[in-house]
Structure 1
Amino acid sequence: MLVAAAVCPSPPLLVPEVAAGAAAELEPLRAACAEAIAELVAAGPELVVVVGTGPEPEVWTEGGAGSFRRYGVALAVRLPSGGVDGPELTPALTVGAWLLDRAGVALPTHACAVPADSPAERMAGLGKGLAGLADRVGLLVMGDGSACRSVKAPGYFDERAEDYDAAVARALGSADLAALAGLDAGLGAELQADGRAPWQVLAGAAEGTALRARLGYQDAPYGVGYFVASWR
C-alpha cells in the first residue's frame, strides 16, 4: 500500500557539481526536495520505489547505478539496496538516486523506468502494481513540467505551457488523482513535460488511498516547470 510519496524534478543541475557556478540558483529547489524526501522517510515505508522516465520500461529490484560523467562530472551514485550496483540507471533515476544518497536514505529501494509516451491507463496499472510490492510503499516520483515557458527554454516558448504547469501544480498540491490521470499525453509531449507518465504512475498507486498533499515548490527556472510535492 502506498503510504507516502515525494514528487521532485529531475534536472542534472540539481547536483551542485554539475551546476558548478550556477549551483546557488537552485538551492531553494534542493532544499524543497530534501524536505519532501524527509517527509517520505518519516512516513515509515519499508520499501521506496523511484519512478522516472527512460527509453524502455524496466524495474530494478536488485540495485542500480548511474553517473554524471555525461555532464563532465566524475560522480557516481547507486540505489541504497544492499551494496549491489545492478544495471545502469536512466538520467532521471540517477538524479533520484542522488537525492536519496544526499538524504542518507538506507531503506530497500527499487527503481522503475517508464517511457515518456506511455499511455495513461498503462501507467495507472503500473502504479497499482508498485503500491502492492510491500505493506508500506513510498514513491519518489521524478519528472519535470513543460520545457516551453520562455524563449530560452529547451522547447522555446509555447503559450499553453503556463496553464499546463498551473494545472499540474494544482493536482500535485491537492492529490487530485483524476486530474493527474487525465493529463493529455499528446499535449505533454508537445510541451516536453516528461513528468506526465511518472505522475500518472503516482495517481495509479494512490488510487483508493486517502492522502494529504502539500506543494513545496513551484517555479520555472531556465523556462522549465519544476514542482516539489509531498503526499502522506
Structure 2
Amino acid sequence: MITDVVIVPGAPLLLPEYQGRTAALPDLLGSCVDVVRGAVASAHHVVVVHATDREPRSTKPAIGLRVADRLLAATHENFDVEHVGVSWDATREECVSLGQALDFASATTLLVVADGSACRTEKAPGHLDPRAAALDDTIVDAIRGSAEGGLERLLELDAALCAELLVAGRAPLQVLAAALGAQANGGSHGDRTAYRVESCEVSDPFGVLYVVAHLTSEG
C-alpha cells in the first residue's frame, strides 16, 4: 500500500556537480530534503518514479534518478529502494500500464521526480509560452486536490502539448496517477483511496515550474 506520496522537481541544481561553491537554490534543496525525510521516517520501502532525460548529455543515470538518490541519502534512513524509469515521451497508455503494474505489497513511499513546464518566462529554457501557465495550473490543482478528480486529472495531460512546453515530469506524474487509481480500485493494490495534502510548495525559478509536495494516506 502507498502510505506517502512525495513529488519533487528534477532540478539539476539540486546536484552538487551543477553547483558552485554554494548551493544555487538552497531553499529548494532544503524543502526537498525536509519533505523526503518526513515521508520516509517510518518507511520500509521506497519506489522512485523518474523520467529519462529529454536530451541525455552523458552516460550518467538520468538526472531525476540522481536527484532522488541524493535526497534519499540526505535522510540518513535505512529502507529498500526500487527505481522505476519511464521514457519522458511515453504515451499515456504506457504510463497507465506501468503504474497499474506496480506492486505495493508493503508500506511504501512513492517518490516522484517531476517538473512542470519550462516555458514560464522569457528567460526560461523554452522561453515564454502563454499556454504554460494554464497547463501548470492544471498540474498544481490536481496535486492539491482542488480540481475535480484530484490526481486522476493528471491522466488528462496532453503528451504533445507537454512536449512542446518542456514538461519533463508529465510521464512520471501519469504513472503516479495510474498507480493510485489502481490502488483505489482494489485488486493487488489494497483499498486505500484518500490522500491528504500535508504540504505543497510551488515556485518557478528560471521559468521552470517546481512542485515540492507531500501527500499521506488517510486510510
Q: What is the aligned partner in structure 2 of residue 8 from structure 1?
A: 8
- SS for the counterpart of 2:19 is helix
1:219 is aligned to 2:203 = yes
CA contact (8 A) 1:2 1:205 kept: no
The structure 1 residue matched to 2:155, chosen from 181, 189, 194, is 181
Alpha-carbon distance in structure 1 between the residues aligned to 2:19 and 2:201: 19
Task: Name the amino acid aligned to 1:47.
Answer: H
Residue 137 of structure 1 deviates from its aligned partner by: 1.7
Task: Name the amino acid aligned to 1:5.
Answer: V
CA contact (8 A) 2:44 2:79 kept: yes
CA contact (8 A) 1:161 1:191 kept: yes
- SS for the counterpart of 1:6 is strand
Alpha-carbon distance in structure 2 between the residues aligned to 1:15 and 1:204: 29
Alpha-carbon distance in structure 2 between the residues aligned to 1:129 and 1:105: 27
Residue 151 of structure 1 deviates from its aligned partner by: 1.3
Alpha-carbon distance in structure 2 between the residues aligned to 1:222 and 1:21: 20
Task: Name the amino acid aligned to 2:172.
Answer: P
Cα 1:128–1:46 shift into 2, 3 Å: farther
Task: Name the amino acid aligned to 2:8.
Answer: C
Alpha-carbon distance in structure 1 between the residues aligned to 2:79 and 2:107: 12
Task: Name the amino acid aligned to 2:44.
Answer: E
Identical-residue share of aligned pairs (%): 37
Within a 5 Å distance, the mapping from 1:23-172 to structure 2 comes to 23=23, 25-42=24-41, 44-54=42-52, 89-130=61-102, 132-172=103-143
TM-score (norm 1): 0.79
TM-score (norm 2): 0.83
- SS for the counterpart of 2:50 is strand
Residue 39 of structure 1 deviates from its aligned partner by: 2.8
Alpha-carbon distance in structure 2 between the residues aligned to 1:224 and 1:114: 21
CA contact (8 A) 1:213 1:230 kept: yes
Q: Deviation per CA, 1:161-205, whole angstroms, max 9, x where unpaired? A: 111112111111228122111111111101000111101111112
- SS for the counterpart of 2:202 is strand
CA contact (8 A) 2:152 2:178 kept: no
Cα 1:89–1:198 shift into 2, 3 Å: same
Q: What is the aligned partner in structure 2 of residue 194 from structure 1?
A: 168
Cα 1:88–1:152 shift into 2, 3 Å: closer
Where do 5+ consecutive residues of structure 1 fail to align? 57-68, 71-86
Residue 20 of structure 1 deviates from its aligned partner by: 1.6
Task: Name the amino acid aligned to 2:61.
Answer: L
Aligned residues between the structures: 201
Where do 5+ consecutive residues of structure 2 fail to align? 185-192
- SS for the counterpart of 2:61 is coil
- SS for the counterpart of 1:50 is strand
Residue 55 of structure 1 deviates from its aligned partner by: 6.0
Further displaced range: 215-224 or 12-21 = 12-21
Cα 1:218–1:22 shift into 2, 3 Å: farther
CA contact (8 A) 2:6 2:214 kept: yes
CA contact (8 A) 2:2 2:104 kept: no
Task: Name the amino acid aligned to 1:15.
Answer: L
Residue 229 of structure 1 deviates from its aligned partner by: 0.8
Alpha-carbon distance in structure 2 between the residues aligned to 1:224 and 1:141: 17
CA contact (8 A) 2:121 2:207 kept: yes
